[in-house]
Amino acid sequence: MSTIFERGLALPTVKIAASERRMMLSFLVWGFLALMMGAAIGPLQALNYGGINAYPYLRPLLQTYYQGLTIHGVLNAYIFTFFVGCGLLVYLPARELGLSPNMTLWRLCFGMMAAGTLMLLYAMFDNSSSVLWTFYPPLKGSPFFYLGMALVVFGSLLPLPIVLDLRARWKARRPCELTPLVTYMSTATMLMWLLAAGGAGTELIVQLIPWALGLTNTVDPMIGRTLFWWTGHPIVYFWLMPAYISWYALLPKQAGGKLVSDPMARLTFALLLVFSLPVGSHHQYVDPGISPIWKGILAALTLSVALPSLITAFTLGLSLEYAGRLRGGRGWIGWFTALPWRDPSVAAQVLAMLTFIFGGAGGIVLGSWQLDNIIHNTTWIPGHFHITVGTATAMTFMGVAFWMIPHLTGRQLPSRRLALASVWLWFVGMSLFSLGMHWSGLLGVPRRAWVSQLPHSTYERVYGSAHLPLTLVAIGGIILWLATIAFYIVFVGSLLGRRLSAPVPIPFAQTFGGRESYAIGADKPSGGEPASITPHPHLSPLAKMLEHLGVLTLITAVATLAAYIPILWPLVTNMTAAHGWKVW
Ligand code: HAS
Ligand code: CU
């Protein structure tokens, strides 16, 4: 049996691997710098809900709550997540396969997104574009905002050709084998994102950029919102799926066990690919112009998108239980306490998973058309997304950074205890914040509202009944500030820290039942060239069926058109023309 090593791929790999590592580090550093800036602003918004108006003290840097909220949302939701995701979705499959990725495309991806980020920062800090992360027209920002956003969105698609090329090169040598798991998951994620980006991509190119440049005078807000949510729902899985890759393919090993089912991991990603796309308009349950029949269908479809995450909960729950029992855990919860909680990377990710149980349950509530009507546009919604993207994704990426920066730089974390403190503080802070936001949302407190600017007596009269939950929000925000400070001390320290005596490998997990992972040898820190890869006949008929990612993509494209043509058609044939508004 010949190996990739013997086929002559090994020599250049070591040299290329250094540049790959540098590139991956650049994605991580850029992403986490964005989070640092975005997270620093967050607590101001929490204080706003607690009745404390800090914005007048921040002039001329920040003029309004809405400017701060736009910067917070754009940097955290797009820049942080996209940079970390576009790094991981290339680096991990490349290391798993022991092949080197197309560096030109990967650099182009970084360059486009970095240029887009700078344009967005310029447009947001000069107070021309306080249009919030959803940039709904007819709120009108500067052309720099929309051009920057387009560069970020289109740049974020480039990992797709890179990972397809890696997969094709690997398969050319092993035509009878299934795609290795991490590569399968990364490819499914990028295919999903390709179809997803079509909505906002069209909105930016056809509607918003020409309008912002003055080439057109008016814009149709409903078409804009619908195209935005075409992307805006599946984007949540573009945030979540890289975290799922870590939970499925790395965390079981870090926890001391194995992944209990490789086919279930594949099924989850295949279902996320197919179900994520058609449901975006569940963000528009209260919008006019969409037929109630469609709103009913969307509610049913939304429940289906929760299915892959429910599969994930059970598959990963069992994988963690297996690890905990191997470590000596006994009884109902002994396995859970026996997990390696002193490892900050494991603690971050398991706490992220625990939080996501509540975030996901909230998502299922929101998926119901009737229940969503009670809480739409209240603080309940940011309560929901701070324990999904703000914790499940963000804390998983923090956990990944704890092993990956030492892996990339050969330097050690400056303090394991401070790293642990940062994730526990994040967990506690976000739990209090989110509890307060859900609770005050039920009492009718609106989201995206500069409530602290009201005269104190008016604030007390209108929001007095929500005093306790809004105080929890403010306390949560302050704890999150402490968490952020602790995390960045560790983060910067690990970039500059002391050299490690031994390299840190990538913790690719094996799958349960004695089957060896495809990634054998790929965790070699020297650059990932596998010393030997055992051909691995995959016996699961399910996994074999799911290998046809092209067919799944086609089904998804058809389902997306089937969902959006009936929603968009009445809007396109009854267009409204709105002039731009600048309300800040
Ligand atoms: Fe959502 C609004 C529905 C998931 C993010 N969502 C938002 C917004 C954001 C967001 C940012 O249907 C606001 C956008 C805006 O600004 O307006 N969401 C859902 C549903 C899901 C869901 C059905 N959302 C997410 C994820 C996000 C995210 C993931 C980011 C990453 N969401 C909605 C709806 C709205 C919405 C409506 C519009 C509301 C409105 O009115 O505007 C599902 O995908 C959730 C499924 C998840 C689960 C949880 C599985 C649990 C796991 C952890 C297992 C733990 C273990 C630990 C194993 C079913 C996998 C074991 C240990 C033990 C001790 C047991
Ligand atoms: Cu959604």
Question: pLDDT tens per residue, the chain (584 residues)?
Answer: 333 333 333 334 444 489 999 999 999 999 999 999 999 999 999 999 999 999 999 999 999 999 999 999 999 999 999 999 999 999 999 999 999 999 999 999 999 999 999 999 999 999 999 999 999 999 999 999 999 999 999 999 999 999 999 999 999 999 888 999 999 999 999 999 999 999 999 999 999 999 999 999 999 999 999 999 999 999 999 999 999 999 999 999 999 999 999 999 999 999 999 999 999 999 999 999 999 999 999 999 999 999 999 999 999 999 999 999 999 999 999 999 999 999 999 999 999 999 999 999 999 999 999 999 999 999 999 999 999 999 999 999 999 999 999 999 999 999 999 999 999 999 999 999 999 999 999 999 999 999 999 999 999 999 999 999 999 999 999 999 999 999 999 999 999 989 999 999 999 998 864 344 434 334 444 443 333 334 444 568 899 999 999 999 999 999 999 999 999 999 999 999 999 999 99
Strand partners, 581: 139
Q: Is the dihedral of CA 553, 206, 117, 399 positive or negative?
A: negative
Q: How many angstroms separate the alpha carbon of residue 293 from the centre of ligand 1?
A: 24
What per-residue confidence (pLDDT) applies to 533?
37
- C-alpha 8 to ligand 2 mean position (Å): 47
Query: Following DSSP, what letter does each residue of 333-355 receive, concatenated?
Result: HHHHHTS-TTSHHHHHHHHHHHH
Cβ atoms within 10 A of the Cβ of 561, count? 13
Query: Ligand 1 center to residue 305 CA distance, Å?
Result: 10
Whats the size of the chain, residue-wise? 584
**Residue 158 in contact with residue 82, Cβ under 8 Å?**
no
**What's the rounded Cα separation, in Å, for the pair 159 and 24?**
12
State phi, psi for 284 to the nearest 5 degrees.
-120, 25
Distance CA 5, CA 22 (A): 23
**Which ligand sits closest to the CA of 364?**
1
Of ligand 1's atoms, which has the minimum distance to the CA of residue 133?
16
pLDDT of residue 512: 67
310's CB contacts (< 8 A; 6+ apart) are none
> How close is the Cα of 561 to the center of ligand 1, in Å?
24
Nearest-ligand number for the alpha carbon of 287: 1
What distance in Å separates the CA atoms of residue 316 and residue 171, rounded to the nearest whole number?
28
Question: Exposed (0-12), middle (13-18) or buried (19+): which is 468, by Cβ within 10 Å?
Answer: exposed
pLDDT (0 to 100) of residue 164: 98
**Spatial separation of the C-alpha atoms in residues 395 and 431, rounded to whole Å:** 13
- The one-character DSSP state at 328 is T
| C-alpha to C-alpha distance for 327 and 321, rounded to whole angstroms | 10
Which of these, 518, 506, 511, 407, lies nearest to 183 by C-alpha position? 518
Å from CA of 359 to ligand 1 middle: 5
Nearest CA to ligand 1 atom 45: 360
**330 — phi, psi (to 5°)?**
-125, 160
How far CA 493 is from CA of 345, 408, 482, 503, in Å, comes to 16, 14, 17, 17
Nearest to 417 by CA among 467, 476, 486: 486
Ligand 2 centroid–CA 440 distance in Å is: 21
User: Which ligand lies nearest to the CA atom of residue 365 in the structure?
Assistant: 1
Locate the ligand 1 atom nearest the alpha carbon of residue 312 and give its number. 60
The pTM for the full model equals: 0.94
Which atom of ligand 1 is nearest to 372's Cα? 41
Cα of 231 to ligand 2 centre, how many Å? 9
Cα separations in angstroms, 310 against 316, 394, 507: 10, 20, 25
Q: What span, in angstroms and rounded, lies between the C-alpha atoms of 477 and 191?
A: 36
Q: With CA atoms as reference, report the closest residue to 407 among 13, 96, 22, 89.
A: 22
Task: Point out the ligand 1 atom lying closest to the alpha carbon of residue 375.
Answer: 41
Q: Which of 305, 381, 391 to mutate to test the pocket of ligand 1 (most atoms within 8 A of CB)?
A: 381
φ, ψ of residue 361 in degrees (nearest 5) = -60, -40
CA-based nearest residue to 88, from 237, 234, 312, 246: 246
Active site residues: 233, 237, 384-386, 447-448
Cα–Cα dist 300/360, whole Å: 16
Residue with tokens 């005269």: 455
Q: Tokens standing for 461?
A: 């009269």
- Atom 48 in ligand 1: residue holding the nearest Cα: 360
What residues does 578 pair with on adjacent strands? 219
* Residue nearest (by alpha carbon) to ligand 1 atom 21: 363
- In this structure, the residue with its CA closest to atom 31 of ligand 1 is 389
Residue with CA closest to ligand 1 atom 8:
385
378 residue type, one letter? T
Top mutation candidate among 193, 229, 366, 371 for ligand 1, by most atoms within 8 Å of CB: 366
Q: Which residue ranges have their beta carbon within 6 Å of ligand 1?
A: 134, 236, 239-240, 282-283, 302, 305-306, 309-310, 312-313, 316-317, 320, 336, 353-354, 356-357, 360, 363-364, 366-367, 372, 376, 381, 384-385, 388-389, 393
Q: Tokens at residue 561, please? A: 């058109």
Q: How far apart are CA 393 and CA 384, in angstroms?
A: 13
CB 418 within 8 A of CB 490: yes
Among 166, 157, 71, 143, which residue's Cα sits nearest to residue 113? 157
Closest CA to 510 of 188, 182, 184, 174: 182
Ligand 1 atom nearest to 389, measured from its CA: 31
Q: Looking at the CA of 372, which ligand is closest?
A: 1
Contact partners, residue 538, CB within 8 Å, separation at least 6:
177, 178, 262, 544
**From the alpha carbon of 73, which atom of ligand 1 is closest?**
16
- CA 201: distance to chain centroid? 18
